[in-house]
A and B are shown apart, each in its own frame.
Chain A
Amino acid sequence: MLALDFMRQALLAAVLVGIAAPLIGIFLVQRQMSLIGDGIGHVALAGVAAGFLTSTEPLLTALIAAVLAAVAVELIRLRGRTGGDLALAVMFYGGIALGVVLVSLSPSGTPANLTAYLFGSLLTTSSNDLYVFAALTAVVSLVTFVLRPRFFAVAQDEEYSRASGLPVAAYNIALSVLTAMTVVVSMRIIGLLLISALMILPNATGQLLGRSFAATSRWAVAIGVFSAIVGVTASFYGGTPSGATIVLVAIAAFLLASAISMVSVRRARAAHAKAERHLHEHGPDCGHAAIAHGDHVDYLHDGHRHAAHDDHWDEHADGAHR
């Protein structure tokens, strides 16, 4: 497979999307806007169709449509009026309906053409296009990576961020525009209707495996890349559409991680002893002797050891370690 130049490029493009989509998607999950990428994809379709109709490069027109939609999403959110939700619905469904109508009007537009954008089609993508996609995806990933601490802070606590002088609206619009760019540059590989899945699903899996935001994000990117590689390979040998295959791999990873985490939670619960309920809060200067114990600190309380576990205290016997 790798002997084919084309497949090498396809794999590279898919891997870059596998990095970019989860990297940006984690902030959408954090802001509980998981479906926004899907909506922007709908509007991007209108852009693709406009490209067909005017014989312009569909990538460019889709990018313009998606970025405009992304800015509109944030402006609607910023106004915070009731009805914002409906305004988004009008925009998203308007986008996809307009796209379908425009494609039917354009001489070069065929249903097969439409499908290639909606669901992705590596085989019909020229290698020149793949280079453009890859370059844009790399740019999106880099910008997202650099802005990560700020996107995190703004999504975590918008009011605090504003109080500490961060330009909150600017970061929100930047995030939205990066989302739009990810949607468009992935449309030939994953498809406009499926790209949102690759932004969200690896993060859902990362949540199960990571214990911090950074770890969740690392897992998500790893799973995104894994899904891309396995998906493209499987679609090459199985002759299946690349985007849908990649998404199915991502779902399989999620189901596997769910099963693993369920088993490990049950194990941890079985093997741990809660301390007596007490009103005292242990801390570095609470008066109880602190003893380093593996990766945490035990406090000597009336002759037995208490260790912090979630919102309560565990009994830790000497030497024993859960």
Chain B
Amino acid sequence: MTPPLVQTRGLSLGYDDHAVVDHVDLTIEAGEVIALLGPNGSGKSTLVRGLFGLVPRLGGSIELCGVEQSQFTEHTRIGYVPQRHSLAQAVRSTVAEIVAAGRLPHRPWWRPASADDRQRVAAAIDLVGLGDRAHAEVSTLSGGQQRRTLIARALAGDPDLLVMDEPTAGVDHANQLVLADVIARLAANGTAMLVVTHELDVLAGVVTRIVCLDGGHIDFDGDPEAYAAHLAEADHPHIHGGHHHDHDHAAGGH
């Protein structure tokens, strides 16, 4: 049996003994599309960044494709789409130039990009619907188009799992729909996804599982139907002895 794409056990992440993520057990199997919900400050970004070793680990284990994170070398199997507000920099660059970075882990440092690399970069750009903007300068693109550029960069590496940190935040509705469409297309191709989001409704129908973080703990993990039931329950705390949840609901905010 193939090992899960991600498996954390008792994972704690944070800085200087202050745990932002506390004893989290999370397993991601091939083909799953997981929405990671939770209020601001609940540790969502810390958790996904921690999976890549970008946040100091205070305890617990992370296995990526069955390999301990610090020993993991098949970096291209797990694509990262960080949260970025703007891709503009001191020097101009194009969509294709940024997406090309997604191919770098596939080849040794001295080898230039091959025709295959270029073809995969073009395919990734097409997949996110930016085919006609491949050579546009990124600073001229809208926020949503810049997010799709980052998704294409991760896709160019041909990952089994895509980890996205708030791809829909701060993007207008038209662009959110395009993003949702891209995510649905990836899901149909069998790419597993872990999507940090506040806008669950945009992804409804694609998401197979919902995980809620609150205060660094997982306090819900189940399918969308169970989540709806869980919300209904949480909305009537008096029935359940004052057990109170403070989720970021599908509506996106409080």
Contact = CB atoms under 8 A, between A and B. Distances in A.
B229 interface: no
Nearest to A296: B132
B52 A216 contact: no
A78 interface: no
A30 B73 contact: no
Q: Give the interface residue-count category, chain A.
A: 35 or more
A159 B54 contact: yes
Interface residues of B, number: 51
Interface string B172-183: 111101100000
A266 interface: no
Interface string A164-188: 1110000000000000000000000
A322 B172 CA distance: 28
Interface string A275-299: 0000111011100001000001100
Contacts of A207: 91-92
A97 interface: no
B189 to A, nearest CB: 15
Given A211-B137, A279-B172, A311-B142, A216 B91 contact: yes
Contact of A149 (B49, B91, B100): B100
Contact of A30 (B90, B101, B142, B157): B90
B105 interface: yes
B208 interface: no
B131 interface: yes
Nearest to A310: B140
A212 B92 contact: yes
Given A153-B101, A281-B177, 14 more contacts: A29-B91, A150-B104, A150-B109, A152-B97, A155-B89, A164-B101, A212-B97, A279-B173, A279-B174, A281-B144, A281-B174, A281-B178, A283-B129, A311-B145
Interface of A: 26, 29-32, 146-147, 149-150, 152-153, 155-157, 159-166, 203, 207, 210-214, 216, 279-281, 283-285, 290, 296-297, 308, 310-311
6 smallest CB-CB distances across A and B, nearest first, come from: A165-B75, A283-B129, A153-B101, A163-B52, A310-B140, A163-B80
